[in-house]
Amino acid sequence: MKPEVLMVAGARPNFMKIAPVASAMRGDGRLRGTILHTGQHYDREMSELFFEQLAIPEPEIRLGVGSASHALQTAEIMTRIEPVLLERKPAAVLVVGDVNSTIASALVAVKLGIPVAHVEAGLRSFDRTMPEEINRVLTDAISTWLFVTERSGLEHLATEGIAADKVHFTGNVMIDTLMRCREQAAKVDAPRKMGLTPKGYALMTLHRPSNVDEGSRLNAMLDPIRELGKSMPVIFPVHPRTRKILEGLSEGASDTIRMCEPLGYVEFLGLMSQAKLVLTDSGGIQEETTVLGVPCVTLRDNTERPVTLIEGTNHLAGTAPDGIRETIRRALTVPAEPRSPELWDGRAAERIVDVLASDLLEVGA
Ligand code: UD1
């Protein structure tokens, strides 16, 4: 019997990371990969649509936890995953990224003596007010395999005293998915369907609690974007968290910003590829725009992905309106080219599966 690796996915940014790993596991053939969906995200356009577009196999287990406070959501995932792990006794649990599903599953697994593999380990914003930063630090501390996307991760893990033999620099699985889906995105041609001119519009996403949870702050941040909207269309697929707050604002996003529902992966990738400018507070989008060669203005004070600033097309704007205004101006004048940070070559998932299969089969032998 092949060793089972239980892969946990819960929230939207997890799905594009799990997809290439599941596919590489099938291709490699030495391990049996199964998928567990925690249900942290549950709206069709935040979850099922991604499974369909990325051809991710149907999850064998669904925990159906839904939304709640951090404590309740984390506790609910832990409570529901424990009996699953006790019954199946997988050889390893694989978690991705930095969401509540990541730390909750890792914590339960490790206490049951099941080793944890963390994909996208070592990233640090050094901002402990971000829930994701807490999830990253804790997940890395208890993982057996730490798969790193960029060299900064190697330094951070060494500083935190993680043994070097647990750490593997394997590249970026999110870029594996991007490379696989580029052609399909070009065919679907979302910009044309939305009546947009290639390189003639901006695309924005915003959902970080620190940016969107307080209406007055969000409103101030949107000012420079409303101004940008007077010179080019600004497309804004709105995360459910952000929508709730926007509904309470008297101005809304304004006439110059074109709001829509969250988009599927393929449509969003198509829009990103042809955008003149991307504005975001997401982590993954900073990486994707670097590979696509599209200028990215990150609406945050820090980033856990410094390679996108040093080698890529990313510009850190902060969150003050004047800083955002100035950074948009700069990003529109500096030329941007597609960049390939080390090992962002579309084969990260294969390398991850190779390490896991070699180690797990050695243990079993
Ligand atoms: C989570 C992740 C964040 C990731 C983001 C991507 C954590 C700590 N945060 O934040 O790192 O970047 O996902 O989207 O895990 N909601 C819906 N439908 C859904 C999902 C959520 O309406 O399918 C609403 C709920 O009202 C919920 C709110 O969005 O209360 C926030 O969802 P939650 O999963 O708690 O956090 P995110 O802000 O999505």
Confidence band for 254, pLDDT divided at 50, 70 and 90: confident
| Alpha carbons 41 and 53: distance in angstroms, whole number | 16
Q: Which backbone phi and psi does 194 adopt, to 5 degrees?
A: -95, 10
| Alpha carbons 291 and 13: distance in angstroms, whole number | 17
Confidence band for 190, pLDDT divided at 50, 70 and 90: very high
Ligand 1, atom nearest to 283 Cα = 12
Residue found by looking up tokens 């490379």 in the block: 179
What's the pLDDT score for residue 363? 72
What's the pLDDT score for residue 253? 64
Tell whether ligand 1 has an atom less than 6 A from the beta carbon of residue 46.
Answer: yes
Residue nearest atom 15 of ligand 1, based on CA coordinates: 99
Whole-number percent of the chain with pLDDT over 90: 95
Output the average pLDDT for the chain: 96
Ligand 1, atom nearest to 207 Cα = 38
For residues 215 and 243, is the Cβ–Cβ distance under 8 A?
Answer: no
Confidence band for 249, pLDDT divided at 50, 70 and 90: confident
For residues 175 and 344, is the Cβ–Cβ distance under 8 A?
Answer: yes
| Alpha carbons 102 and 92: distance in angstroms, whole number | 14
Look at strands 32-37 and 4-9 and give their pairing.
parallel
Confidence band for 229, pLDDT divided at 50, 70 and 90: very high
Report how far ligand 1's centroid is from the alpha carbon of 66 (Å).
Answer: 9
What's the pLDDT score for residue 240? 94
Annotated catalytic residues are: 207
Structure tokens at 215: 């209406």
Mean pLDDT to the nearest integer, 27-43: 98
pLDDT tens, position by position, 151-163: 999 999 999 999 9
What's the pLDDT score for residue 364? 64
Q: Decide which of 362 and 264 is more confident.
A: 264
Tell whether ligand 1 has an atom less than 6 A from the beta carbon of residue 207.
Answer: yes
pLDDT tens, position by position, 42-55: 999 999 999 999 99
Which residues make Cβ contacts (< 8 Å) with residue 294, sequence separation at least 6?
A: 272, 273, 275, 276, 277, 278, 313, 336
Mean pLDDT to the nearest integer, 300-317: 98
What's the pLDDT score for residue 365? 62
Residue nearest atom 13 of ligand 1, based on CA coordinates: 11
What ranges make up the beta strands (E) of 12-153?
32-37, 61-62, 92-96, 116-121, 145-148
Report how far ligand 1's centroid is from the alpha carbon of 13 (Å).
Answer: 10
pLDDT tens, position by position, 255-296: 789 999 999 999 999 999 999 999 999 999 999 999 999 999
pLDDT tens, position by position, 72-88: 999 999 999 999 999 99
Report how far ligand 1's centroid is from the alpha carbon of 2 (Å).
Answer: 35
Query: How far is Cα of residue 212 from the mean position of the Cα atoms in its chain?
Result: 18
Instruction: Please list the alpha-helical segments (H only) found in 275-342.
Output: 284-292, 307-310, 321-333
Tell whether ligand 1 has an atom less than 6 A from the beta carbon of residue 12.
Answer: yes
